[in-house]
Chain A
Amino acid sequence: MISKDLKKKLLRGMLRLRLIEERLAAIYHQADEIKTPMHLYTGQEAVAVGVCAALRPEDTVSPYHRSHGWYIAKGGNLCAMMAELMGKEAGCCKGWGGSMHLLDVSAGVMGSSSILAGTVPHAVGAALAFQIKGEDRVAIAPAGDAAIEEGVFHESLNWASLKKLPVVFICENNLYSTSTHLRDRQPSVDIFKRAEAYGMPGSRCDGNDVGDVYTKTLEAVNRARRLEGPSFIEVMTYRWREHVGPNYDWDLGYRTKQEGEEWMIRCPIKALAAEFPAAQVQSYTDEFEKEIDEALVFARQAAFPREETIRV
C-alpha cells in the first residue's frame, strides 16, 4: 500500500522529469543551443522515479547514455544539467561531458557512460566497496534491453551474485535498440527469467505503474541491505520520442504510431495524476515550468569553458 504522500512525491517526480524533457525537446533546435546528442526519457519516467524513491540519499545510481531521467530522479542539480547540455563551464562536467555523461556525486549520481553496459560493472564495484567498508548502502545498475546483450553485463551479474553484493540491476526494456526490435536481437526468453541462472531473484514490473516499480525496487533494495545479495528487475516501458534527438520518429517505419499511441494512452503520469485534483496538478506544473525557466536562464547566462583548457 502506497501512502498518499508517497504518491504525491512520485507524481511530482515524474511530472517534473516529463516537463524538463519536453522543454528540452521544444528548444533543442530553436536556437541550436544544445549541441550534444540528447536521448530523451519521455515515457520512461516511472522507471527512474519509482526506483529512486526506494533509495536513500547515500545510495548510488550509475546511469547510461539516456541519463537525464536517472540524474533528475536521484536529485541531480537541474541548473548544472542545463548548463552542461549547453556546454557551459557551470555544467556538472564543465562542458566536458554533455547529455550522455551527467554526474552529481553529492546526490549519488555516479558518472554516466555512453558505452552500452559500461557503467553496470561500476555499480557492482560501488557495491563491492560498500561491502569491503561495511557501509549500509545500495548501488543501482540501470541498463537498457540492448545493454544486457553485452558480455560485461553477464560478467557483472556473475560477480555480484558470487560475492552477494548490495546491488540492484534494473533493465529498462523499451523494446528497441535505436531502431532494432528486441525480437531481432534476442531469443524469446523473458529477460527477467535470466536472473535465475545467476542465482538471484528476477522480477518484472509495469513501467507505466510507478507504484509497481517502487514496490518491487524497495523489496530488492531491502534484500540488498539485509546482505542477501543482488536482485534483477525488468521494467516494461516505452520511449516515446526518437532514439536520439527531440522528435517523434513514426515516419521511419521501424515502429508504428499505433504502437506508440497504445503506450501513450497508458502514460504513467496521466494514470497517477487522475488521483489528484486537476488544480493541484496544474500548480505543480506551473511550479516546475518556472523552475525550468530559471535553470535555462542560468545556463544561457553561464560562460563557455575557456579555450586555454585545451592543452597543446
Chain B
Amino acid sequence: MKYSESIRDAQAVMMRHDKRVFICGLGVPDPKGVFGSTVGLKEEFGDKRVFDTPACENGTLGILLGASLQGMRPIMVNQRVDFFLLALDQLINHASKWKCMFAGRQEMSVLVRLIVGRGWGQGPQHSQSMHALFAHIPGLTVAAPATPYDAKGMIISALQEGGPVVMIEHRRLYDENQDVPEGIYRVAFGQAHVAIEGKDVTLVASSHMVAEAKKAARVLLGQGISVELIDLRSLRPLDVQTVYASVKKTGRLVLVEGDWKPCSVSGEIIAALAEKDPKIFKSAPVRVMWPDMPVPTSAPLETAFYPSIKDIADACLKVLGRPVLAAEVKPEKANFNGPF
C-alpha cells in the first residue's frame, strides 16, 4: 500500500468506526483528493462528514476546535504546511493551551495533516517543513511518519487519543510502498524506531529524510560501515532515550533533518545528549540540514540546496574519521515531475 493510500485507509477505517470523526480542508472532496489521500471518502461518508472549506486556515482550525469541544474528532487537511502558518493563533494560543488552561475540564482535539513540498520549483512558500516550530510548543503532539505503516498507525492514535496533533507528511513519501495491516492498529507517539540496526555510527532522521538516510546507509554498507538508523517518528514527544542508547553503543552521531539548523530538533537531541552524558561522543556530532536561507526555486539551486545522499554518507564518514565518497550517488528512481 502506498503512503497516500495508507493515510486514506486510516481515515476511512476510523470514520467507519467512530461517528465523531469528520474531515475537511480545501480540496478534500475533489477528484484528486489531496494527492490521493482523501479519494472516495465523500462517496462513502457523505458531505456532512467530508467537505471543502473556505480558504481560511485560522478560522477553519478554530471552528474545528470548537466542534471538538462538543465531542467531535475533526481532521483538517492542508495541501502545504506553509498555508497552515496562518492558523498559528488557533494552534498555539488555543489548541495547545486549552487542556492545561482549563485544568483538564476541556480539551481540544484535532488532527492537522500538513504536507511538505519539495522539488519542481516549489519555492520558498511551498516547501517549508516547520516541524521544529510546532515541536517547540508544549501541549502539541507532532508526528512525522516516514512509512505507510506509521502514517496509518499514527492517524489512528491521534484520533483515538484526542488532543491536538500535527502530522507532517512529506509529498515525496506519498508513493512509498509497504505492506500495511487492515483494520485498526496504533503507532505510539514518542517511540522512535530503529529502522536499521548497526554498530559504527548512529544516523538519526525523520519523515522523508529517513528514506534518504536508508539510501546512504546502503552505500556505506558497501564500504563495510554499519549504520544504525533511527527513525524518530514523532518530534513531540521526542524519544531521546532510543538515540541515547544507540550513541552509547556507537559513540558517533549524524542527524539528517529537512529544516534549518537554528532551534532544530537535531540541535535539541545533541543538547539533550550533552546534558545527559557529555562524554558520550567519540567525535563531534554532525548535522546534515538545509542552508540557512529560504528554499530556492530554480532547479540547479534546488539541487544545491537539499542535502544529497552523498552529503549524508560523507557526514557518517566524517564522524568516523574516514575519507569522503569520491563521487555523487546516483538517484535510484526518477525525480519528482510535479507539478505540485
Q: Is A93 an interface residue (CB 8 A)?
A: yes
A125 in contact with B68 (CB, 8 Å): yes
How many of chain A's residues touch chain B, expressed as a range?
A: 35 or more
> For the complex, is A122 an interface residue (Cβ under 8 Å from B)?
yes
Closest to A110 in B: B69
Distance between Cα atoms of A214 and B106 in the complex (Å): 29
B69 near A113 (CB under 8 angstroms)?
A: no
- Is residue A298 contacting chain B, with contact meaning CB distance below 8 A? no
Interface assignment of B3: CB less than 8 Å from any CB of chain A: no
Q: What is the bound-complex CA distance between A156 and B54, given in angstroms?
A: 10
Contact A162 B54 (CB under 8 A): yes
Do A132 and B22 touch (CB < 8 A)? yes
Q: How far is the CB of B237 from chain A (nearest CB, A)?
A: 13
Contact between chains at B65 and A121 (CB < 8 Å):
yes
Interface string of B35-61 (1 = CB under 8 A from A): 000000000000011000110101111
CB<8 Å pairs between A and B, sample of 24: A96-B100, A111-B69, A115-B93, A115-B94, A118-B90, A121-B63, A121-B65, A122-B62, A122-B65, A124-B62, A125-B64, A126-B70, A127-B66, A128-B66, A132-B48, A132-B67, A133-B70, A133-B71, A151-B59, A152-B58, A155-B56, A155-B60, A158-B59, A159-B54
Residue A62 is within 8 A (CB to CB) of chain B in the complex:
yes
B72-106 vs A, Cβ < 8 Å mask (1 yes, 0 no):
10000000000000000110011000101111011
Chain B interface, DSSP helix/strand/loop, else mixed: helix
Q: Are A129 and B72 in contact (CB under 8 A)?
A: yes
- Smallest beta-carbon distance A175→chain B, Å: 25
Contact B58–A155 (Cβ < 8 Å): yes
Q: Is A97 an interface residue (CB 8 A)?
A: yes
CB distance from A158 to the nearest CB of B (A): 5
Contact assessment for B98 and A126 in the assembled complex, using a CB-CB cutoff below 8 Å: no
12 more A-B contacts (CB under 8 A) besides A111-B106, A159-B63?
Answer: A96-B102, A111-B69, A118-B90, A118-B94, A121-B60, A123-B66, A126-B70, A130-B70, A133-B70, A152-B90, A154-B59, A158-B56
CA distance A133 to B73 in the complex (A): 12
Say yes or no: A159 contacts B106, CB within 8 Å. Answer: no
For the complex, give the distance between the alpha carbons of A113 and B62 in Å: 12
Q: A-B pairs with the 4 shortest C-beta distances?
A: A125-B66, A121-B62, A155-B59, A122-B66
Other-chain contact of A118, B62, B64, B67, B72 (Cβ < 8 Å): B62
Contact at A113–B93, with CB atoms within 8 Å? yes
Of all chain A residues, the one with the shortest Cβ separation from B92 is A115
User: What mask results when residues 61 to 103 of chain A are scored 1 for a CB within 8 Å of chain B, else 0?
Assistant: 0100000000000000000000000000000111111000101
The residues of A with any CB-CB pair to B shorter than 8 Å are 60, 62, 92-97, 101, 103, 105, 110-111, 113, 115, 118-130, 132-133, 139, 151-152, 154-156, 158-159, 162
Nearest chain A CB to B73 CB, angstrom units: 11
B180 to chain A, nearest CB (A): 29
CA gap between A120 and B56 in the complex, in Å: 14
A132 to B63, CA, bound (A): 13
Number of interface residues of B (CB under 8 A): 32
**B93 near A121 (CB under 8 angstroms)?**
no
| Complex Cα gap A128–B102 (Å) | 22
- Judging by beta carbons under 8 Å apart, are A129 and B62 in contact? no
A111 CB to closest chain B CB (Å) equals: 5
Contact of B102 among A101, A120, A124, A154 (CB under 8 A): A101
User: In the assembled complex, which residues on chain A have CB atoms less than 8 Å from the CB atom of B59?
Assistant: 121, 124, 151-152, 154-156, 158-159
| Shortest Cβ distance from B69 into A: residue | A110
CA distance A62 to B69 in the complex (A): 11
B272-287 near A? 1/0 per residue, CB < 8 Å: 0000000000000000
Q: How far does the alpha carbon of A123 sit from the alpha carbon of B69 in the complex, in Å? A: 10
A97 contact set on B, CB distance < 8 A: 101-103
A152: contacting residue among B53, B89, B98, CB under 8 A: B89
Instruction: Across the interface, name the chain A residue whose C-beta is closest to B68.
Output: A125
Find chain B residues with CB under 8 A from A93 CB: 101-103, 105
B54 touches A158 (CB 8 A): yes
Complex Cα–Cα for A289 and B243 (A): 62
Measured between alpha carbons, how far is A105 from B71 in the docked complex, in Å?
A: 12
